[in-house]
Every structure is written in C-alpha cells, then in structure tokens.
Structure 1
Amino acid sequence: MKKAKMVLDKEFHVGEVDYRVYGSFIEHLGRAVYGGIYEPGHPSANEDGFRMDVVELVRALQIPIIRYPGGNFVSGYNWEDGVGPREQRRRRLELAWRTIETNEIGTNEFVDWAKLVNAKVMMAVNLGTRDIDAARNLVEYCNHPNGSYWSDLRVSHGYRQPHSIKTWCLGNEMDGPWQIGHKTAQEYGRIASEAAKSMKWVDPSIELVLAGSSGTQMPTFPEWEATVLDQAYEHVDYISLHTYYGNRDNDTANFLASSLNMDEFIHTVVSTCDYVKAKRRSKKTIHLSFDEWNVWYHSNESDRKIEPWSIAPPQLEDIYTLEDALVVGTMLISLLKRADRVKMASLAQLVNVIAPIMTTQDGGAWKQTIYYPFLHASRYGRGKVLRPAISSPKYDTKDFTDVPILEAIAIFNEAHEELTIFAVNRDVNEALLLDVDVRGFANYEVVEHIVLQNDDVKACNTAENPTAVVPHNVEIAQVDGGHLQCCLPRLSWNVIRFHKKTGSVRH
C-alpha cells in the first residue's frame, strides 16, 4: 500500500475561512428558477410558489450567499422587467441562452427566497447592454430606505424595508466574445470604474466585485486583470475568477488532477493583484471572489438540441458521477488552501443547472454526488485553515506532472475545539495509508471518519436511484503517540474529524 504523511500544527496557518467561500449561484437559466426553486402548484410549494423540498436541501448546505441573476443572462437583463405587478411584466427574448424569460421571478422574489434559505444575495448588474445609470438605480431601489424615486418604487411594490444587499458584481465575463456587450479590457475597466463610483455614492457600505477573466484559457489572461484593475483598483474590493472542468477524454487520472490548474489560476490572479497594488503604491489589498466553479461537460451534447425560445427548458443538467464529486472535493481544497485571499466563492449552480440538487416536475428533489463534499466542507470547514506539510506519492498525466495522490487540507475551529481534515485519494487503483502527525493537538481524538466512494467511478445518483453514491462512516482509527494512521480507499473523498477529549484541560 502506498503511504503519505501529513504534519499539522495550530501555529502554522493560512488564514481564517470566510464563510462566504461556501456560496452558490442561481441564474435565470434552464430550470434553475422555473421548475427548480419556483414551481407554483407543486405539492411542497408555499404561498409564494417556492418549492419547500428544495428549500430544505439548500438549508442543509448552510449556504451564506447566493449570486443572482447571472451569469451570461445578466448581460442582457433589464432589472426593471422583474419588479412590480406580475401581470404587467414583459416577456423577453433571452439572448444568452436563447429562451423566453417570463420575468415571473425578479429581484424582490429572489430576496424573499434567499431569506427562506438563510442566505444573503450577491447581486450582479448588467454592464453589457446597460450602463452606469441602470446600475446605480438598482442599488437605490434595493438599498435606499425611502424618499427617492427608485426607493419609493420599491416601497410601492410592497417592500417598505430596504433589501440592504451588501455585495455586488460589476457585470459578468466581459472578456468573453460570447457575452452580450463584450468589451475590451480598456472598455470594461472604464465603465466598471465609473459604475463602481456611482454605486458607492448611492450606498457607501456596499462592496464590489470586478469581473476577471473567464478562465485561464482566455488569450487575454492575465493581461485583462492587470488592465481592469489598473483602472478600477481603488473603487472595487474583489476580482472574480471562473473555471469549469470536464472529463471529455475519459481519462480519470488526468481529470482528477484538474485542481492543479485551479491552484495556478488563483496564484496568477493573486500575483497580478499584488503587482497592480505595488504599481499604484496602494495600501489596499484586492481579494478574490471565485464566483463560478464546478464540473461541467455531461450535458454539452443534449444542450445543442434544445428548441430555441422555449420557456425554462432543461439546460446544463449534468448528472454527476463519483469522479466528479472527487474533483469538486479537490476544488474545495484549492479554495481553502488560499483562504488568505479567496474570500468568496460560488458553486455554479445550485438547482438543476450543473447543480448539487435536482428536481422533477411535480415530483421529488434529490442530491447529486457533488452535494456531499460541498455539504461536508460547508458544515465542518469553518475556522482557521492550517498550513500542512504533506509528503505524498505523485503521478504524471497528459496535462499535468507531479500530481500528488493525496490532496488534503485541515481546518482548526478553536471555538468548538474541533480539527477537520478533508482528503482525496486520487489513486485509481490502490488505497492510501495516511500518517497524520497531530502532536500539536494534544488530547484530541478522532470522532468520525466519513468516506464517499464507490467501486464504480462512474456511479451516479438519479431520480430513480438517489442513494447510489452516498457517504458512509468507517471504523475510527485511534491517535497513538501523537500520530493517526488511517486508510483512504482508492478514489475517495474523506472527512476525518477530531475533537478535544471531554474533561481534558484547556491551555
């Protein structure tokens, strides 16, 4: 059996986990909204038409913030279409995904839904077809108490109290030619800077996310970041990153190494931010919002066959496998490894569209394989990220070299006297014997070892068989002489939880 080592000490840490790193994303795309979170007449629907079975599954994930309403959708969206009496709302041709948008759900309804799932809203403004005026007006509508045109309009729509939305995205993927209103870096940096100024003049308490590159494959990356930050640096607080991975070549070992690309992406953007900071002699540090990330490739072929101008057709409905869940697990670890700079992230998306939660019309809701690593990280990954010393066997693939078989991180929650290790064994053939040096955590014992695995790496959950791939607990290994030795099954996601022994003296 191959062996790996991990040394942990509470004095060596990366930074505190910002709870918003466990955010998600709902776009007006496919069945994310209509048929996903909203289905009037469904047996579980409340008086507002929201599916409460979906609400319960989302609540369990403890998602603190949800990005809305897009995505590519936002670059052609007139937010005014989605407020006021429903019977007066316009139906629109939605050009990003070539559907009909009914506008039954808009800003106010989504804020209501977010409250149901105990989440805040990260609102995106349209900087594709719209301008500074529309952006500042939306901030006024949402956040100003009353006494002005747009705030009084909100009050007239039945919302006397302001929504007080704190976090705002300045457009979406404006570097992409597929984007409505695609701009050069100079063009986008200019309008983003001016929009940011006016939005903060309306509400100085808000924080703003500048649109970064749509991925490392973009020919303008990372010059885009350098250019747009140079123009907007003092007016924004974060810059966004987006990435998706897929296994189109059916090469599991290569696919499982995808997070190495994510690591490099984060490193390059951090370096670019700090270069602009130095260039401008600024005292301000720009943090990262990784506000789109996931596995996405299963549905590509079926999406090409969708009839244009349908209403809420099934789109981007990937059915995820075990190996997809392992990649999601490694991506979560990548985010946590840079907790010092990655302060927000959004798993894209949340319901039906490349999502951890799926629904059937008039039927049930069920959990995909990727639901579980996200659930575990959100539930147990709160506290201080430790900087582990890891020794692991490695392998090479067609796209990556020196891929560690063990991908792992540890979180220390001092307030709750808990230590949690998240670990993925990438080995396609063998279990891995892990030795964890926890001498820095005297009087801590293992209380749980959760494993997500299956003999079939392509196994998935479906509406007919929603529990084909679910986590289970394995026999707990004991700490001996300050070391824990445990077995990580091949191709597995592992959560190893320690807790301070009851009755032990705290120093």
Structure 2
Amino acid sequence: MKPRLRLILALGALLGMVGLLPAQNLVRNESFENAQGNRPRGWRTETWGGQADFSYPQPGRTGERSVGIASQAGADAAWATTVTVDPFARYRLSGWIKTEAVEPVQGGRGALLNIHGLEGAATPAVTGTRDWTRVEVEFDVDDQTQLQINCLFGGWGRARGRAWFDDIALEKLEQRQPPAPKIEVDASRIGEPLSPLVYGQFIEHLGRCIYGGIWAEMLEDRKFYYPITSNYAPYTALRNTQYPVVGASPWQIVGRPDGVEMTTNAPFVGRHTPLLRQGTGIRQNDLGVTAGKEYVGYAWLKHPENRSARARVTLRWGQAAADAQTVEIRVRRGDYQKYPFRFTAGLTTDQASLEIRAEEGDLLVGTISLMPADNIHGMRADTLALLRQLAAPIYRWPGGNFVSGYDWRDGIGDRDRRPPRTNPAWTGVEHNDFGLHEFIDFCRLVGAQPLVTVNTGFGDAHSAAALVEYCNGPADSHWGRQRARNGSPQPFGIRYWCVGNEMWGPWQLGYMSLDHYVLKQNWVVDKMREVDPTIFCIASGNAGPWSRGLLERCSDHMEAIAEHFYCQERSGLAAHVRQIPDNIRAKADFHRRMRSELPQLKGRDIRIAMTEWNYWYGPHVFGELGTRYFLKDALGIAAGLHEYARQSDLIHSAFYAQTVNVIGAIKTSRRNAAFETTGLVLMLYRHQFGELPVHTRTEGLIDAQAAWSLDRRRLTLGIVNPTLQAQVIPLQIHGAALKKRGMRWQIAGTDPQLFNDPDEPLRVRIEQLPFDGSTDRIEVAPCSVTLVAWEAD
C-alpha cells in the first residue's frame, strides 16, 4: 500500500471515530448535582398557570439529584435554564423523565422537555406512572443565539400528578448557512381586500393610557378618593421610577397636621370632602410644567357654614419666592361654586406643585382640576396631534380587564360629580372623568369609529341593553332621554360592540365555565339586539376549546369572534420578529379548521377580530405596565401587518393594544408625547400600504408582502429585514406593468435596541428616500422596515 493511501485511510478512520464521539452537551449542571441553596445552580422555576410544587430531591436517575414538579389541581410550570447556541444550526434536546399518576388537563400534554417559544421543539410527553424514560426531539434554529430549555409539566394546558427530570442534554448536530433572500410577486393573483379596520386601536383605563396619556388632567385623585392624612406617602408601586403608582392620597397637608378633616357630611362627590381649617392648605407635588406655557383650572369651594371666605391657589415651579404664581379667590356665601384660575409657568420642570390654602375662614374643597390651557375638550393637544397622524379608523374602549368590573353609568353626567372608584382590574383610582361622552368626543376628534365593550363579567344583559339604548336609542326612549339631558340629543349610532373581554380567563371578574358562559353570551346579545338589531357583535374568543365552544353554541349570536395574543422578547432578531406573524397565522389556521369541522358555521362568515395584539415585555418605564418598545419590535409589527394581508379573507379587524402609554404606540411624559417605534410602522402602513393583497413569495429571513391600491394604480411592497446586514434582494414582479419611478420609505437603524423617548430627540423616524423604481432588485438597510410604491403603467 502506498504511503499516501495509508495516510488517507488513516485520516478517514480517525474522522469516522470523531464522528462517533458524543457531541458536546451545552447544558450546564445537566444532572442537577451542583446546588445553590435549595435549588440547582443555573436553573429557575417558571409557572404559567395553576399551582405547582417544585422539588430538588435525592437521589436522581444518575448521581445524587434530580428536579421535580407536582400538582394536585393542575399546573403549567417548568424548571428552566438558558443556554447559548450557534445560529442556523440543528440541535437535539434529550433527557430522562419519571412520572407518577401524571394526567393532562385543560389541553395539557403531561411531562416533557421543550424549547420555550420555538414551535415544534418539544419532546413526546410522558403520562401515567412510568419509570425513567428517555425522550428527545431534533429541531432547527435560525438566528437565535440563546434558547430556554424547559423541564415542562403541563404544556399548552395543565397536568396533575408528579414528575421528575434528570440528565438533560442539548447537542449540536449540524451547522447550516443562512438562506439567501428573494422576493417574487404575482400582481395578477389578488386576494380579498385588506380591511382598513386592521389599523384599529385599543384604549383601556389602565396605567397612564387615559389619565396621564390622553386626558389632560394633571392632578392625581382630584376628587379625594383617598383620605388626606398627616402620613404623606402617596406612592405604593414603582416608587423609584419616573411615574410611580398612587395608592394613597397624593395631597400633602400644608400647615397644622390636624388642620385637614375628611368630612362625610353631604360630600361634594364620593365618600368624603376635605375641610381645610383657616391657615391650612393641601399641596400636590410632582407636576410637569413647561416655561411660558399656560395652565388653567378650577376648584369647587364653599365655607362649611355658607359664609364668605378667602382662598389662595399657588402654582410653584421652584424654591425661590419668585418661582410661583398665586391666585386669590373670594369665596362667596352659599353653596359650592366653581372658581377658575390660570397660571403661566416660569420654568420647565417635573417637580412643580399646586397648593390651595384657606386664608380667611374654613374651606370645603369639593374637587379641583388643573390642565394645560391648550387642552382640546379636556384632552392633551400633543397626544391628539400624534393620534390624528396615526389615523386609526376605529377605537375599542373601555377594556380590557377593566370592563368586567366597570359600571358605564359611573361615567355619565356632570363630570365633577361622577364618583371616583378603585380601578376594578388594575391599580389606582378610576376618576370617571373620561366616560362614554368623552370617548365619543375623542373618536370624533381623531376621525375614528367607536367600538364599545360591554361588561359580561360582573355585568348582566339588562345593563348591556341599557348601554345600547343610551348610545343608539332615540331621544324619546328611556336611556335616550338621559343621553339628551347629558348634552347629546342625537344618538351616537355605535355599530361595533364587543361582548365581554377575555371571559375565558380565570383572572376575569365574573369568570365562569364555558358551559355557563355560552348561556350568558346568548342572553346578553339577545337583549342588546332587542334594542338595536343592526349592531355588529364580537364574541370573546380564545383559539382552542373556548372559541370552539362559542362557535358551536353561539354562532347565531355573533358577527365576529375576538382573539388576543401578546409576544415576549426572544433571542435572535429574526426569531423575535417572526413571533407576531406566526401568532396571527396560528389564530387564522385554527379558525379555518373550525370552518371545515363545525356544521354550525356552514353558510356563516364569522371572521376574526384581533382585539388585542402586540409585544409585551420589559421593565415598566412609563408607569403601570408602561413598557418601552425598540426598533426590533417595529419590525415585528410590520411583519404582523403583512400577515393580516395574507389572511385578509379571515381577518375582520385588529386593534393594537394599547394606543397611549402602557403597551402603547405613543408614549407620553408629563410634558411631551412621541411615537414609539411600533407607532411609526402603524402610521406608515396606514397611510401608504395598499388595500388589495397580491400573492407574494419570499425566501430567506426577510418578510415581504405586496398590495395594490383599491384603484390598482399603485403597487406597494413592504419588506422587513430582520438581520444586521444590508441586503440586496433579487426581485421578480409578474402580472403588472409598472413605471420606472416610485417612492420609498424606511424605518431603520444599526441597533435593534434603538428607542424613542418623549423627552428626548427622536432616535427612530420614518425616512422618505430616493427610489429609482427598479423592479428586478431592491436594497434594504440592516434591521429595517422598507415600503416602496410603483405607479402602474
């Protein structure tokens, strides 16, 4: 044998031996032997539903330890760890599971291993009573660099019983090359029109969405829901943030601690009214003012014995004597009267204060208000300006979880006399300043249709029917007369109604089983239709057994069915972006399957109203649940709009949740407002994307969708590039004669974590760029949303 041949054969044998060696296990502490206190180092517990008991028992399958999960009533929970992986590779996840009387419930699977959030990356489930059983699954990753491994108990539902996990392994099997991008458009294959209602928005009485976002009132607890005491400690959550949550009176006593009494004798509004003894006052801090800007307000005041008195109201923006303006008020004899005041701030600060003091005589303060003078019907001018640019065609209100404990009657009548309440679903006070009439006024100001959600939690059919009559009944009907007395003789003519919110969720006030809820759904809709048979009713669905049950037993009591979804942050830009269209498609696939399986849907066209959709993750920067959005989230929202276009035959409407603050498209500070990155995408597509989707095929990681304008004189193409590299994408367009000129818009940046802040210069914006009208290739920036438009020839 020649020496060279011997060398080749030897190398081949060696390589073969290397191939037979076990791959490297990427899981640290895979057998749980390394302890950190009473748990394995590098592992954490997660609970998504029910109650789970986590254990760290001895012995394990190998060695001294394993991990365990048990539940009697049912749980969806896991021991979890995060591992670093190479993108564009194939992996094997494996491990050993032991079970004792494990039983899936509520759609759960049992005991298994999975990769969190990666569809298809789940092992077979182990149920019943089994000794140590090996399970495995192979899967591919795209651009993810981190994966969460779950030792999962339940899974897409819940499980009962007990399970143990040991010897978890994640092994890399194969490396792949990133796929090359390509776009092919057949403009002659036109789908159903994309409903303009997919650009809908959702506002809820949660956090700073209404109060602090849309509504211009600057004062917290202006109706004194919380008693004013000498123990000034107003903030009970998010204390060390810019927007802490008020959980006690935000009014600080100025002067003698015993100089303020909360009297329950004939209160102006609510349960009590503050009585200020002569020489005493109350002050609210942490107000935002801008130098040179005017602020207007008023107070309802009286002397407790109906005598005359004198009050002093001061807006202060600094410590010096000159850093304030004061208005003297002569309080006339008799009952409560409304006294206006006006200030011009001399400094820009978020530490201003408003103080009212009883100078001569005692003083009852019924309620007090302070707003920027440029408010529009009580709404923030800066927020409204952005909302008009957003141009959403429809708004959903008032909830959300809030609605299941909300009595709409609290939000009508004299605004200053409406009762303050505890927010039934979230934190803080519901002032009831923004009620039904204000919502209708808001919709008119931004040029949108209203959609009202009725309370099917603690509410009943009669209350829902009364609400429909108040909105749509003639002025000579019982509730129509009430509406006319409150300043609106003409009916509001509200067409769209949500029947409850997330009534499938046990967190919902008034939650009940599906068997009971279907009866309530039909009862409520029957009573609403007795008042107005023309209304469009949207049932409260959740893809799975709940939506199936509603479609089977309530299909004649709905025109559409609601679905919700939220996505969290995910490792890898493309994977993070892809969550949104994947969730939309999953909802659509479920309902397509229902159309083929359920005889009750024959001849019916019950479409999906995606009444809440968005990302939801990260710290609360803008108050209660006030998350911040990044450039990478904008890419996902654009890809979601593409998916709505692809599913246009099944999607009736979609409502981005929420509009302002919280998880909104617009964020406000005390003094300014700005578009989030996600809001920029919604605005761009609302104004520029086409209405007639056409067949669009893509390769690689990009997401793209084309659409004609309704008159077919303009073809638009949206492209999402979820990579950190610029891409020159081969492009083929069939079935259209296009002019070699057009327009191009771009939202882009080199950092997926770029964000906008209302108090800082914009980092992310819509750019209009030159475009040569090329139809054979297109170049897109890294981490970008690109929208191009050609004129038809």
Normalising by structure 2, we get a TM-score of 0.56
Distance, in Å, in 1 between the alignment partners of 2:736 and 2:664 is 37
Cα gap change, 1:7/1:296 in structure 2, threshold over 3 Å: closer, same or farther? same
Name which of 227, 238, 241 aligns with 2:560.
238
Residue 413, structure 1, aligned to residue 709, structure 2: yes
Distance, in Å, in 1 between the alignment partners of 2:633 and 2:466 is 41
Distance, in Å, in 2 between the alignment partners of 1:87 and 1:322 is 42
Partner of 2:537: 208
What's the offset of the Cα at 1:254?
A: 2.5
What's the offset of the Cα at 1:206?
A: 0.8
1:469-490 deviation line (CA, Å, top 9, x unaligned): 11223442443xxx33111222
- What does residue range 277-288 of structure 1 map to in structure 2 within 5 Å? 278-280=598-600, 282-288=602-608
1:474-507 deviation line (CA, Å, top 9, x unaligned): 442443xxx331112222111111113xxx5xxx
CA contact 1:222–1:272 (8 Å) conserved in 2: no
Q: Tell me, what secondary structure is at the counterpart of 2:677?
A: coil
What's the offset of the Cα at 1:47?
A: 5.3
- What does residue range 335-484 of structure 1 map to in structure 2 within 5 Å? 335-361=644-670, 363-390=671-698, 392-393=699-700, 405-415=701-711, 417-427=713-723, 429-479=724-774, 483-484=775-776
Residue 125, structure 1, aligned to residue 454, structure 2: yes
CA contact 1:143–1:165 (8 Å) conserved in 2: yes
Name which of 469, 478, 487 aligns with 1:140.
469
Name which of 50, 71, 78 aligns with 2:379.
50
Partner of 1:35: 212
1:382-416 deviation line (CA, Å, top 9, x unaligned): 421112133x12xxxxxxxxxxx011111101426
How many percent identity over aligned positions?
30
Q: Which structure has the highest helix share of the two?
A: 1
Q: Tell me, what secondary structure is at the counterpart of 2:735?
A: coil
What's the offset of the Cα at 1:51?
A: 1.3
Cα gap change, 1:464/1:478 in structure 2, threshold over 3 Å: closer, same or farther? same
Partner of 2:330: none
Residue 102, structure 1, aligned to residue 431, structure 2: yes
Distance, in Å, in 2 between the alignment partners of 1:443 and 1:202 is 52
Distance, in Å, in 2 between the alignment partners of 1:263 and 1:110 is 29
What's the offset of the Cα at 1:33?
A: 0.9
Cα gap change, 1:281/1:289 in structure 2, threshold over 3 Å: closer, same or farther? closer
1:321 maps to amino acid: F
Structure having the higher Rg = 2
Residue 223, structure 1, aligned to residue 515, structure 2: no
Cα gap change, 1:73/1:446 in structure 2, threshold over 3 Å: closer, same or farther? farther
Residue 255, structure 1, aligned to residue 576, structure 2: yes
CA contact 1:434–1:487 (8 Å) conserved in 2: yes
Cα gap change, 1:443/1:95 in structure 2, threshold over 3 Å: closer, same or farther? closer
Distance, in Å, in 1 between the alignment partners of 2:427 and 2:680 is 32
Partner of 1:20: 197
Q: Tell me, what secondary structure is at the counterpart of 1:370?
A: helix
Q: Tell me, what secondary structure is at the counterpart of 1:346?
A: strand
Q: Tell me, what secondary structure is at the counterpart of 2:494?
A: coil
What's the offset of the Cα at 1:128?
A: 0.4
Cα gap change, 1:236/1:272 in structure 2, threshold over 3 Å: closer, same or farther? farther
Distance, in Å, in 2 between the alignment partners of 1:44 and 1:8 is 52
Per chain length, whose mean CA-contact separation is higher, i.e. which structure has more relative contact order (CA < 8 Å, sep 6+)?
1
1:366 maps to amino acid: A
Partner of 1:491: 783
Distance, in Å, in 2 between the alignment partners of 1:338 and 1:147 is 44
Moved more, 256-265 or 92-101: 256-265
1:349-386 deviation line (CA, Å, top 9, x unaligned): 1111211111122x121111111111111112242111
2:196 maps to amino acid: Y
Distance, in Å, in 2 between the alignment partners of 1:20 and 1:132 is 27
Cα gap change, 1:45/1:110 in structure 2, threshold over 3 Å: closer, same or farther? farther
1:288-333 deviation line (CA, Å, top 9, x unaligned): 1011011111236x7xxxxxxxxxx922211211111111111121
Cα gap change, 1:46/1:275 in structure 2, threshold over 3 Å: closer, same or farther? same
1:263-310 deviation line (CA, Å, top 9, x unaligned): 44223332254146x42263111011011011111236x7xxxxxxxx
Distance, in Å, in 2 between the alignment partners of 1:119 and 1:416 is 25
Q: Which structure has the highest strand share of the two?
A: 2
What's the offset of the Cα at 1:231?
A: 1.6
Structure 2 unaligned regions, length at least 5: 1-177, 218-294, 296-370
Partner of 1:308: none
Residue 299, structure 1, aligned to residue 607, structure 2: no
1:178-227 deviation line (CA, Å, top 9, x unaligned): 111112222222211121122112111110100011xxxxxxx4111110
Distance, in Å, in 2 between the alignment partners of 1:414 and 1:444 is 18
Cα gap change, 1:414/1:146 in structure 2, threshold over 3 Å: closer, same or farther? closer
Partner of 2:279: none
Residue 333, structure 1, aligned to residue 642, structure 2: yes
What's the offset of the Cα at 1:466?
A: 3.6
Cα gap change, 1:269/1:45 in structure 2, threshold over 3 Å: closer, same or farther? farther
CA contact 1:127–1:171 (8 Å) conserved in 2: yes
CA contact 1:58–1:117 (8 Å) conserved in 2: yes
CA contact 1:477–1:484 (8 Å) conserved in 2: no
Distance, in Å, in 1 between the alignment partners of 2:604 and 2:710 is 29
Partner of 2:84: none
Distance, in Å, in 1 between the alignment partners of 2:779 and 2:727 is 6
Structure 1 unaligned regions, length at least 5: 214-220, 303-312, 394-404
Distance, in Å, in 1 between the alignment partners of 2:525 and 2:437 is 22
1:424 maps to amino acid: V
CA contact 1:367–1:466 (8 Å) conserved in 2: no
Q: Tell me, what secondary structure is at the counterpart of 1:256?
A: helix
Moved more, 369-378 or 68-77: 369-378
Aligned length: 464
Distance, in Å, in 2 between the alignment partners of 1:408 and 1:253 is 13
Name which of 588, 592, 597 aligns with 1:271.
592
Normalising by structure 1, we get a TM-score of 0.87
Q: Tell me, what secondary structure is at the counterpart of 2:779?
A: strand
Name which of 619, 628, 631 aligns with 1:322.
631
Distance, in Å, in 2 between the alignment partners of 1:244 and 1:465 is 28
CA contact 2:721–2:783 (8 Å) conserved in 1: yes
What's the offset of the Cα at 1:2?
A: 6.5
Partner of 1:198: 527
